[in-house]
Amino acid sequence: MNLDLSKHVIVVSGGAKGIGAAIVHALAAEGARPAVIDRDADALAALRKECILSASVVADLRDLDACRDAIATIAATTGRIDGLVNNAGVNDSVGLEHGTPDRYRESLRTNLHHYYDLAHFALPHLKLARGAIVNVASKTAVTGQGNTSGYASAKGAILALTREWAAELLPYGIRVNAIVPAEVMTPLYQQWLETFPDPDAKRADILSRIPLERRMTLPAEIAAMACFLLSPRAGHTTGQHLFVDGGYVHLDRALT
């Protein structure tokens, strides 16, 4: 299937590592022109050596001005924005019992506010392109995890915003969908595993609970869904929450 993404400028937040980087590689392979915003300057420099980017911006998206400037820089460099992948986020373990109200607010800034900010600033360009938005959420939005109130509520809001923006942007032909990953091996996931006393045992335990093939989802499998959703081939798909998780969230527990 030709996804017809050739020359499309797609902004990917948090695109220097993990799932975001896999999306960037997949977009480039489809002939699109990925533009990356990430705060990890070293990882972004490494990515630039592997892949042709239409623009790259080192920025911390917790800062509103940084979001505005990043979109302005990308638009000035590329002349167009056809799609936005809101992906940057951190599972930061701000719980109800062991967190604080200040850390909770900070977690929303880390995981939620920039999804709105980037979409807001990119919107004039997306309107011109009749573009598409893909929001990366998390299974924690619907399953909970424990000790991660900030992250889980941000991800829940991202699922709600996906429906809300899909409705609001109908007149412009802009489609908005969410991908909901569960267990994907990335630098962030590895860091989380290493918080357990026996990371290998924890990993084996998780794998045993993933219905399809008892394995983690590959970043490339999330990226393939993102490319499809961004492409004209998904022209009548909007407001959807796509669980790319090997059946982890929805299939019967008895199967594992």
How many residues are recorded in the chain? 256
The residue within the footprint of ligand NAP, chosen from 19, 157, 174, 234 (CB under 6 A), is: 19
- C-alpha distances out from residue 63 to 69, 93, 123, 219, Å: 10, 21, 19, 27
Residue-wise over 195-215: b if at least 16 C-beta within 10 A, else e? Answer: eeeeeeeebeebeeebbeeee
Structure tokens at 67: 């979001």
Handedness of CA 128, 165, 151, 25 (dihedral sign): negative
State how far the Cα of 103 lies from the Cα of 94, in Å rounded to an integer. Answer: 7
**Does 61 participate in binding ligand NAP (rule CB under 6 A)?**
yes
The residue within the footprint of ligand NAP, chosen from 187, 199, 232, 235 (CB under 6 A), is: 187
Residues 97-126 that bind ligand NAP (CB under 6 A): 110
Q: Which residue, 60 or 69, has its beta carbon nearer to ligand NAP?
A: 60
Contacts of 134 (CB under 8 A, 6+ apart): 83, 84, 85, 86, 176, 177, 178, 179, 226, 229, 230
Residues in contact with ligand NAP, total (CB under 6 A)?
29
> Residue 243: which of 184, 166, 198, 194 has the closest Cα?
184
Stretch of 124-132, 142-150, 176-184, 231-239 contacting ligand NAP, by CB under 6 A: 176-184
Catalytic pick among 104, 115, 116, 151:
151
**Does 94 participate in binding ligand NAP (rule CB under 6 A)?**
no
* 151 tagged catalytic: yes
Site string for ligand NAP, 138-157 (x = CB under 6 A): x-------------------
Site string for ligand NAP, 31-60 (x = CB under 6 A): -------xxx--x----------------x
Stretch of 1-9, 25-33, 83-91, 235-243 contacting ligand NAP, by CB under 6 A: 83-91
**Does 17 participate in binding ligand NAP (rule CB under 6 A)?**
yes
DSSP, collapsed to helix, strand or coil, labels residue 136 as strand
Other C-beta atoms lying within 10 Å of the C-beta of residue 233: 15
Stretch of 1-9, 68-76, 82-90, 207-215 contacting ligand NAP, by CB under 6 A: 82-90
Catalytic residues: 151
Residues that bind ligand NAP (CB under 6 A): 14, 16-20, 38-40, 43, 60-62, 87-91, 110, 136, 138, 181-184, 186-189
